[in-house]
Amino acid sequence: MSEGGRMKYGQITGIDKPIARIVQGTTMLDPGDIDASFALLDAIVEQGGTTFDTAQSYLDGNAERILGRWMAARRNHDRVLVITKGCHHTQDRQRVTPFDLTADLHDSLARLGVERIDLYFLHRDNPDIPVEELIGVLDAHIGAGKIGAIGASNWSIERIQEANRYAREQGMQPFVASSPNFSLADQVTAPWPSTVSISGPRAADARAWYRTTRMPIFAWSSLAHGFWSGLVRSEMRDGPVDGLDPFMLEIYGSPENFERLCRAEILAAERECSVAQIALAFILEQQCDVYAVSGSRSPGEFAENVAALDVTLSNAELDWLDLLANER
């Protein structure tokens, strides 16, 4: 297994900190074991993991609270970059409104213990809400120093274009990043309502747009909810799958994805790396500006993901992995 890679970084307009290409999620943090959560965050920073993805809705707010307590204890907010998100829908109603945006932002600022969010995403979209209302409120919060830069998570390309066109016309700050699902595994069905994926052959046009515009992508579920973890093997396509996450299999357990897994296993064996590293390299090698969001549960998992930055794939291998060609 290839380990011990060195982190790589990018830059995004409006953000004055380097952004790690492997972004650490926060849903694995444990409110019942703060010491273990702090130890994991410390180990990730030691490996160059300076960028953390969280949200107002994660762990009922505890993901932000733990991250905030850790930054306060380590006094390191000036050295790490925080991405958080608001306006997530509930089972009761859609919450992409100016009111909910402002309320969620203020909750996040309080939980994180910071005066400004480095990169703030709207977690969902509601096409019935005019972009003018949302961009105007976001721009006001940027002007007040509460947000550094803004992004759109699970927004269609058309809505991003509409919002940014309005922002430019009004001299306001546009979305500088997008966060769709992006993985070597193509989703069989959406895991949650109102999500957007750019994975698989059906989304080729979307990826072409990101490639042309260079809009940064923060790829959620880049490892497909554990499909690329190594616990799933291609010979399991016909069963048995005892012990595997049924939710993951419902979303990703298609015959096509098992064939992608088989091909990733072949490449991993040839390269002496892991299947997870091949899967991450697949999205990182797409000639897009990609940041892979993953939820490492141990320092070793994070090290494995960082080492994927050193794995290179040819265009022929990319097509072969995505079942667009039978040969490489």
Q: What is the CATH number of the domain that holds 55?
A: 3.20.20.100
Average pLDDT, the chain: 97
97-136 in b/e form (b: 16+ CB < 10 A) is beebbbebbeebbebbebebbbbbbbbbbbeeeebeebbe
Q: Is the pTM of this model over 0.85?
A: yes
- Band of the pLDDT at 266, cuts 50, 70, 90? very high
Query: Per DSSP, what are the bridge partners of residue 292?
Result: 22, 219
Distance in angstroms (rounded) separating the CA atoms of residues 135 and 119 = 15
Whether 275 is in a domain gets the answer: no
Distance in angstroms (rounded) separating the CA atoms of residues 283 and 216 = 12
Rounded to whole angstroms, what are the CA distances from 298 to 40, 181, 250, 262?
6, 23, 26, 26
pLDDT greater than 70 at residue 105: yes
Whether 255 is in a domain gets the answer: no
- Domain of residue 200 covers 9-226+283-312
Reduced to 3 states (helix: H, G, I; strand: E, B; else coil), residue 291 is strand
The pLDDT value given to residue 238: 86
Q: Name the domain count of the chain.
A: 1
Whether 134 is in a domain gets the answer: yes
Residue 63 identity (one-letter amino acid): A
What are the phi and psi torsion angles at 249 (to 5°)?
A: -65, -35
Report pLDDT digits (tens) over 43-96: 999 999 999 999 999 999 999 999 999 999 999 999 999 999 999 999 899 999
Whether 25 is in a domain gets the answer: yes
Q: What average pLDDT score do residues 236-265 get?
A: 94
pLDDT greater than 60 at residue 4: no
What are the tokens at 248? Answer: 């993951």
Whether 322 is in a domain gets the answer: no
- Band of the pLDDT at 1, cuts 50, 70, 90? very low
Instruction: Give the end-to-end CA distance of the chain in Å, rounded to a whole number.
Output: 23
The pLDDT value given to residue 5: 75
Report pLDDT digits (tens) over 277-328: 999 999 999 999 999 999 999 999 999 999 999 999 999 999 999 999 999 9
Report the 10 Å Cβ neighbour count for 199. 25
Whether 65 is in a domain gets the answer: yes
Whether 72 is in a domain gets the answer: yes
Rounded to 10 degrees, what is the CA torsion of 145, 147, 149, 154? -160
Q: What average pLDDT score do residues 151-162 get?
A: 99
Whether 301 is in a domain gets the answer: yes
Burial (CB count <10 Å: 0-12, 13-18, 19+), residue 68: buried
